Amino acid sequence: MRKLILLAIFVAVLYTAWPTLTNESEQHADASVLENLKNDFLALKENAEVSSFVSSFLANAEDLFNDIVASLKDISDQEQEQEALPVDKPELNAPDAEAFSIMNLEIGDSRSHIESNLGKPQRTTTNEYSQEWHTYHDNYHNFVMVTYLDDAVAGLYSNQDVISSTYDIAFGTAEQEVLEQLGTPLSKIRKGFTYYQFEKNRDYDIFELSDSYVTVFYDQHNDDKVKALQIISHTLESEKDGFYGEPNEELMVGFEYQLFDITNAERVSRGINALTWDDHVKETARKHSDDMAENHYFDHNNLEGQSPFDRMKEDQLDFRIAGENLASGQFSSIFAHEGLMNSLGHRENILREDYEYLGVGVSFNENLQPYYTENFYTD
């Protein structure tokens, strides 16, 4: 009888607290505890010898349990459905004035127009044109990088399916179809009185269209299909005297964060978790880039024979799994990332699902060439 009295008191309190419970359940929906409690309660009800009044009371309490559990399950299901909903991809329209657009943005669009549509950038960093890349995304979905001159768009980049064109070219178009429509790509570019030759065995093509240079990047591990696009205005390109930007601390930091963001955009577009920036391993990566640039070598093992894992341990970094990517000589973090994606071992690091952290270190040699080191790990 004592158990029944206590149970009756508990049910009465539960009944009184119903509005509070349902309100709290919107934040912490977990029906399993109440489901177990209900089962224990029913067992007690079936085995108890009680009066008709108590039986009626317990029957009402059973209905209350059912209502609570059903409500919590509904809320939990709704939350799971909301979590599973993908981020909406914008409706892509053909460009108005240019051959290509990214996220419906074109060269010449005003900064105020961009920010009225996309809001403030998630990150702003120095780029190789002595300007800034403004990075816009929704948790790395709908990723686009924008650079401005005089508050008008002068450069765009994305490695996601947000590319549109007046041509029959989009994300996933085969390289041969691109060449058939755009013709012969540039093999060199003129800077003042100097011509700079592009490498022959490259995984991208650069086309001069209207008043812009359009770089189309291909995925060599996906039948050479379009996987990224960069658009740079003639005016912005003229801001850079040579192939490379002017080395300084701001550009090093800019390249580091740009490579980090582009890597996360790559991962998220493929359904892989975004990585967390780690300052500790970034220092390890920066020191290795410094060492390679200063001592004129390019290798995962340094001149003392230390592997990436040795260097991470020396810097007192605890990890269960780790990996390293290296690149050198590319114009920017954009070109470095796209090149790494076409190297199978580096690609596997970029897309490895059980990595959690990434730090990027960049340095320049006396010829202005950048060295990039990416260190991935899980603790």
What would the mean pLDDT of 223-247 be, rounded to a whole number?
A: 93
Q: Percent of the chain scored above 70 by pLDDT?
A: 77
Asked whether residue 45 carries a pLDDT value surpassing 70, the answer given is no
Q: What is the pLDDT of residue 59?
A: 52
Per-domain boundaries in the chain? 1-18+36-81, 100-243, 263-378
Pick the CATH number of 263-378 from 3.30.390.10, 3.30.830.10, 3.40.33.10, 3.40.630.40: 3.40.33.10
CATH architecture of 100-243: 3-Layer(aba) Sandwich (3.40)
pLDDT band at residue 222 using 50, 70 and 90 as cut-offs:
very high
The whole-angstrom separation of Cα 212 and Cα 197 is 18
Q: Is the pLDDT of residue 30 over 70?
A: no
Share of residues in the chain with pLDDT > 90 (%): 68
* Residue count (the chain): 379
Among 67-76, 229-238, 271-280, 329-338, where is mean pLDDT lowest? 67-76
* pLDDT band at residue 120 using 50, 70 and 90 as cut-offs: very high
Q: What is the pLDDT of residue 60?
A: 53
Tell me: pLDDT of 68 over 80. Answer: no
Closest to 336 (Cα-Cα) out of 324, 328, 344: 328
Q: How far apart are CA 290 and CA 296, in angstroms?
A: 10
Q: What is the mean pLDDT of residues 172-176?
A: 98
- Token pair of 10 as six digits: 């508990």
Position 97 scores a pLDDT of 85
148 pLDDT above the threshold of 80: yes
Q: What is the pLDDT of residue 86?
A: 58
State the average pLDDT over residues 296-309.
98
| Cα gap 370→255, rounded to integer Å | 9
Q: Cα(198)–Cα(15) distance, rounded to whole angstroms?
A: 76
DSSP string covering 61-127, please? HHHHHHHHHHHHHHHHHHHHHHHHPPPPPPPP---SSSSEEETTB-TT-BHHHHHHHH-S-SEEEE-
pLDDT recorded at residue 242: 84
Confidence of residue 329 (pLDDT cuts 50, 70, 90): very high
Phi and psi based region of residue 139 (left: phi greater than 0; alpha: psi -120 to 50; beta: remaining)? left
Question: What is the pLDDT at residue 26?
Answer: 34
pLDDT for position 85: 46
Which pLDDT score is estimated for 90? 82
Query: Can you tell me whether residue 372 is helix, strand or coil?
Result: strand
Q: Do domains 100-243 and 263-378 have the same CATH topology?
A: yes
Would you state the pLDDT for residue 154?
A: 98
In the predicted model, what is the mean pLDDT of residues 200-213?
A: 93
**pLDDT score recorded for residue 89:** 78
d(CA 163, CA 171): 6
pLDDT of 73 reads 45
Does 48 score more than 90 pLDDT?
A: no
Q: Which two tokens stand for residue 123?
A: 């990150």
Supply the mean pLDDT for the chain.
84
62 pLDDT tier (thresholds 50, 70, 90): low
Give pLDDT, residue 66. Answer: 56
